[in-house]
Amino acid sequence: MANVRGHYRKNGSYVRPHTRRNRPGSASPRPAIPRQRSAPGATTNVRGHYRNGSYVRPHTRRISGPVVVAAGGGGLLLLIVVLLALFGGSGEAPAGTSPSPLASTTGAPR
């Protein structure tokens, strides 16, 4: 079920707000994703465009916070993980080598 806002059709007639039912056999609606608040004043301008065959007028919309933060942050972390994997971050000695004498002491004098 989807709530439909009141709106005017192209022919000028007004459609009252109502609840629309899904047709039998149609895909179920997407699950609701909780909205996160954006920083006050974070907006962007949207140019006019066509969507599903109808024209959307130019407008201003709010930018959600997580999208702005996530837009440029993931590349550095990925680079660090790849470098650690290439140059070995395991700390174990390769097979066939003996550990250094300093590595086997516990710090107490003998």
103 — alpha (psi -120 to 50), left (phi > 0) or beta?
Answer: alpha
User: Are the beta carbons of 4 and 18 closer than 8 angstroms?
Assistant: yes
Distance of CA 61 to the CA centre of its chain: 18
In angstroms, rounded to a whole number, what is the distance separating the alpha carbons of residues 50 and 57?
9
Q: What is the pTM of this model?
A: 0.24
DSSP secondary structure code for residue 7 in this structure: E
CA distance 94 to 12: 78
Spatial contact of 1 and 20, defined as CB atoms under 8 Å apart = yes
Cα–Cα dist 98/107, whole Å: 19
Give residue-wise pLDDT tens across range 17-39: 998 887 766 666 566 666 666 56
- Which tens digits make up the pLDDT trace of 41-69? 688 888 999 988 889 999 988 886 554 44
